[in-house]
Amino acid sequence: MPISFFWFRRDLRLTDNIALLQAHTAGDPVQPVFIFDSNILEELPKDDARVTFIHAQLEKIHQELEDSGSSLLVKKGKPKEVWKELLEEHDAAALYLNRDYEPYAEARDQAIREMCESREVGFESFKDQVIFSPGEVLKDDGDPYTVYTPFKNKWLEHFESSDWDDYDQDVDPVWHESTFAFPSLDAIGFKQSSIEVPDFDLTVADDYGKTRDFPAQDGTSHLGPHLRFGTISVRDVIRELSPKNEVFLSELVWREFFMQILAHFPRVVENNFRSKYDGINWRNNKDDFERWCKGQTGYPMVDAGMRQLNETGYMHNRVRMVVASFLCKHLLIHWSWGESYFAEKLLDYELASNNGNWQWAAGTGCDAAPYFRIFNPHSQLKKFDKDLKYVEKWVPEYDSMEYPEPMVDHKAARQRALDAYKKGIDNA
């Protein structure tokens, strides 16, 4: 009997998984597969916390499958080469997967689609990681939105009138009988990270609008990595929300806004969304960047945020805006430097949101903060951490002789940024 393959990617769960449900509905026995993509892994440190997290989630899935007389087939390599090998070894009816909208993923999936079609193997892809895919929420003239608020309004209109939750989850799984061994972290060339991904907590959604800006309260859900790797579906998250969780829901809409920006304007990966900022003469001082990375700028909220990131792989949302603004505007370092550092460190790193938020902070992105909006780290500290609980947790030497003086004067740095942006716009 032929089998169907299901390819785990950003959907590491057995429940509320659209492509997996569709594979079971088709009737052929389903063999789940995960590929540790060497194109991605070769850029990561050997103790990358995200790889440790993925491996642990896959092991849970493997154990659940064993209870059903099946197993998870885990491979490491370049996806196209892995699928060529699997399709030669097995009588495959179809390959099922959930869509990924990042440029690398779309190119990869198109190549594998063509391989399947050349072998007369079905290639079945489905929307799963979003409520609305990049082409579903458009202006009346069919163009993509580049401003968040009208996108959000149209998104909510679609949400209220659509059948986004209308599908049959009550499907009896039909697994392929298999006994594949589950590899250790060491076998795929990695080792256990000391950083753990925390569990998410959706109970904070009730007070999210009131607490989300105060880093010492930690009023955020820690949902990011779980949405990024799909240990919970975005549909399950929304089912848990109540009508009063409007602010929390808006964060999910921001996520889809940046995803559709990336899908419609893939040039933003390396270029300013707004080309009028292409003429800015960035300082890009390596020593300044190093001090920012280490949390040694002399600005307590900036330093606390960077040290939190380096130690835990997480940074509070309010603080992310402050540290990003500081890098781009106080230090005049190109947003791509900060974006790359966050990509290396963040547990919840996602290309679309990371790129969108960094360009927002730099003023170069769609619907971005205007270039003359420059966060004052001192006033941000007084407003959102006035008792210094957050700062004292991450910068224990604060208010001692060991703590460095501010590396730049805020007023002078602000004026330097205004001059550089203004001149850059004139030269673009």
Which are the contacts of 204, defined by CB distance < 8 A and separation ≥ 6? 211, 219, 220, 221
Report whether 18 contacts 164 (CB < 8 A).
Answer: no
The helix/strand/coil state of 184 is coil
Catalytic hit among 251, 256, 339, 350: 251
Q: Which one is catalytic: 282, 310, 344, 392?
A: 282
> Is 251 one of the annotated active-site residues of the chain?
yes
Per annotation, catalytic residue among 292, 358, 360, 394: 358
Phi-psi region of 150 (alpha: psi -120 to 50; beta: other; left: phi over 0): alpha
- Determine which one of 317, 344, 376, 392 is catalytic: 317
CA 332, distance to chain mean position in Å, is: 25
Is position 360 annotated as part of the catalytic site?
no
Instruction: Give the Å distances, CA to CA, from 179 to 2, 32, 59, 337.
Output: 17, 12, 14, 45
Within 127-211, strands assigned E span: none
Residues in the chain: 428
SS3 label, residue 172: coil
CB 260 within 8 A of CB 407: no
Inter-CA distances, 108 with 11, 116, 127, 213, 352, Å? 17, 13, 17, 38, 17
Task: Single out the catalytic residue among 292, 335, 337, 394.
Answer: 335
Choosing from 254, 271, 344, 376, the catalytic residue is 254
Task: State the helix-helix crossing angle for 351-362 and 317-325, rounded to 10 degrees.
Answer: 50
Q: Is 164 a catalytic residue?
A: no
Which residues are catalytically annotated? 251, 254, 282, 317, 335, 358
